[in-house]
Amino acid sequence: MTEEQTNKTANRRQFIRGGLRGAALFVFGAVTTLLGLQSRKERTVWQIDPNKCIACSKCATNCVLTPSAVKCVNYFPMCGYCDLCTGYFEPNPNALNTGAENQVCPVGAIIRQALEDPYYEYRIDENVCIGCGKCVVGCVQFGNGSFFLQVRHDKCVNCNECSIAKVCPSDAFVRVPASSPYIFRAKENQS
């Protein structure tokens, strides 16, 4: 190959590369414009819609974190402060006390505290709660439904695809804007 030929090939290659580069830039521009039309500035986070959730207990086992970033929340304005809390006690408990054998919660994450007679306050210890939702079933079945499961964003690592959302049988996992990252039950929305 003579020098001239080599130069010619090199020039041709450079020209083709430049053209393809331009084409790629054009495609990027088009993609950005297309997405720009429907993109949002704010990022989204995962949340459980309590109105769809069936408390199947998959949240406890499918989160990438151990324990799960899903925790039970007690929304106090809806709570009946019952003595016989069906979210706290097993069906037909031996006695209405804090004995582990009486509790629904497998890890003892619900703290029961006596207030003025006959009311009891139920708080969730989020460091202990595993998000299994057993208490949610009890509360919704016979109580007011003030217990529900929520993704706690101080724990959630916000995976691109939530591994609980993938297995959620009732499609309750939704992406919500990061500025209003919680969906509480109906009463909250009304007030």
Binding positions for other proteins, 85-114, rule CB under 8 A: none
Q: Which of residues 145, 149, 164, 173 is near other proteins by CB under 8 A?
A: 145
Q: How far is CA 151 from CA 14, 117, 130, 170, 173, in A?
A: 53, 33, 11, 16, 9
DSSP 76: G
Under a CB-based contact definition with an 8 Å cutoff, are residues 14 and 7 in contact? no
With binding defined as CB under 8 A, does residue 156 bind other proteins? yes
Q: Least distance from C-beta 159 to other proteins, angstroms?
A: 6
The smaller minimum CB distance to other proteins, of residues 93 and 181, is found at: 181
Dihedral sign, Cα of residue 31, residue 171, residue 189, residue 59: negative
- Part in contact with other proteins (CB under 8 A); list of ranges 44-52, 89-97, 103-111: 44-52
31-40, long-range: CB < 8 A, 24+ apart: 40/177
The smaller minimum CB distance to other proteins, of residues 30 and 108, is found at: 30
Which of positions 45-64 make contact with other proteins (CB under 8 A)? 45, 51-56, 58, 64
